Each structure stands twice: as structure tokens, then as C-alpha cells.
Amino acid sequence: MRDFSYHAPASLAEAHSLLAQYGDAARLMAGGTALTVMLKQSLVQADHLVSLQRIPGLRRIHLQSDGLHIGALARLRDVETSPLVKEHAPLLAEVYRQVATVRIRNQATVGGGIVHADPAQDPPPALLVLDARLRLVSRAGQREVPVREFFLDYYETALRPGEVLTEVIVPLQTKHARAIYLRYTPRTQDDYPTVSVAALARVERGVCREMRVALGAAAPTALRITAVEEALRGKRVSQAAVRRAAALVAEQVSPLEDFRGSADYKRDMAVVFTRRALEGVLGLG
């Protein structure tokens, strides 16, 4: 691994100055769990690491009228154990609880996980079905980007040079809606999922009024599967409708063949796990 200088700014303004000063030679670091591996493997090269750890306020989780605000420096374990998250976005508490091991969850941050943009990561499908937004702050100002527009390709996001992800804004989970997250890990429980599915649904008198579905590890990015959502929204809930809708997933995904399985196998598993998730949120389980 090549040598680098380590900077620990005490404010966001100072971090922005360092990013402006060193340009492409600088890289932000949060928990460091992904970045250090990439540096060691020379997949990323940086002469300057700019740590976000000393910047105050970035680890806060609080409630506002537009939803739950989760600071980018919140650890995965903070989200898993937060009473606010458990009450207002229980799907997220459940998803973060299932990531890797407690040791990693105590180190890795929410923001680092999102910007890393590995398509097999657990949180993105849940963030997609909850319609979460990201606050990106640069020297020039700030913007909010829906998670749905943030992931562009394998490890590629809409983050611009000089921007820092400061928080994730999660609209409160609709009351009376059921939500579920399933991850398929045939090797070990703490592995990245072979496929994963998040779903959220609201059923009234046997009719599906709201349906949101997103998959992870099944394409270059996590993705919402609108074909499945449209096939079920407004329809009477039945086992047959669920089977028909889940089958649509096969055409929507484009998994990469790797040591977790062939593309065909992952496509089949995407259909199976979508069906199980739909049965779960529609109360057919």
C-alpha cells in the first residue's frame, strides 16, 4: 500500500477545504472498513485521507417533520439499536441488524456504506422502498438526492467531487404498512447476500393498496422493481397474483456471475425470494 497523509478536520468547512486543496489525490474516510481494503488492493489510490470522524454532529439520529434524519457518521450498530429508528423505520433497524458481524457494525458507518455502492450491500433495497433521500453538501451549497437516483453502476454513484454525504432522510414508515427484508446467504450468515429483497405493502380489506419492492445483489445497483409493484397495486391479494408478480422479476434483473452463484441461479433465487417477501408483506405466509 502506498504512503498517504492522514487528515482529521474538526469541521465540515475544513474537510471541504482539504478536498478542494488536494482534489483527486484526496479521499474521504468514515469507518474505513471498505476503504482500507480497497487501498490495500490498490483498487483506490490516495495521497491524502480525510477522516470525517472528528466532525461534530454527523453521528446524530433525530426526528423532524419530514422524517427521520440519520447522520452519515452513525454506525450501523447505532441504527440497529436506536429507539427512534425502531419506532419510526423498523425495517431499517432490522436490516442494519443483519449486516455482517457486530464488530463491523460498530465500525462501519451509514454514509460509508451508501457511498461505497457495492450492489450486494444490505441497506440500499430498504432505503429504496422507504423512499429515502440523501443530503450532499459541498463548498458551493447542498442538494438532496433520492436514493433512487444515487446509485449509477457498480461502485458508482451520483456523488460529485467535493461533496460529502451528511445525512440520510427517511420518510416515516407508513402506519398500517408491513415491511420485510430477506437476505439469502447460502455460505455463511455474515456473508454478503447472494440476493436480497425488501418489500413494503399496505392491504385494506383484501386489496393491495400500496406495494414497493426492491432487490439487492441482482444487478449493477440495488433497484426498485416497478413491474412487480404495478402488477399487485390495486389488486385483490392472492397466492396466484403473488406468483405471477414475482415471476416478472426474472426479466428485470441482471445478476453478475461470481463465487456466490451463476447469473441463472441468482435470477431464479431473485424470483423465489421476491415471492417469499411478497407473501410475507401481504400476510399470505
Ligand X SMILES: Cc1cc2nc3c(=O)[nH]c(=O)nc-3n(C[C@H](O)[C@H](O)[C@H](O)COP(=O)(O)OP(=O)(O)OC[C@H]3O[C@@H](n4cnc5c(N)ncnc54)[C@H](O)[C@@H]3O)c2cc1C
Report the interface residues with ligand X, using CB under 6 A. 27-35, 52, 72, 99-100, 104, 108-109, 111-113, 115-116, 118, 121-123, 159, 164-165, 192
Q: Which is nearer to ligand X, 117 or 200 (CB)?
A: 117
Task: Tell the residue number behind the cell numbers 433525530, with chain if given.
Answer: 62
Nearest to ligand X by Cβ — which residue?
112
The least distance separating ligand X from the CB of residue 58, rounded to whole angstroms, comes to 7
Which of 121/173 has CB closer to ligand X?
Answer: 121
- Collapsing DSSP to helix, strand or coil, 200 comes out as strand
Residue 176 C-beta: closest distance to ligand X, Å: 28
Q: Do residues 70 and 61 touch, judged by C-beta distance below 8 A?
A: yes
Task: Pick between residue 51 and residue 174 the one whose CB is nearest to ligand X.
Answer: 51
Q: Shortest approach of ligand X to residue 77 CB, angstroms?
A: 12
Three-point CA angle 94, 95, 100, nearest 5°: 115
Shortest distance, CB of residue 163 to ligand X, whole angstroms? 7
Q: Least distance (Å) from ligand X to the CB of residue 178?
A: 23
Rank residues 167 and 210 by Cβ distance to ligand X and give the closer one. 167
215 contacts 125 by C-beta, under 8 angstroms:
yes
Q: How far apart are CA 108 and CA 102, in angstroms?
A: 10
Nearest to 76 by CA among 190, 161, 224, 225: 190
Cell of 282: 401481504
- Closer of 70 and 253 to ligand X (Cβ): 70
Among candidates 153, 208, 222, 217, which has minimal Cα distance to 185? 217
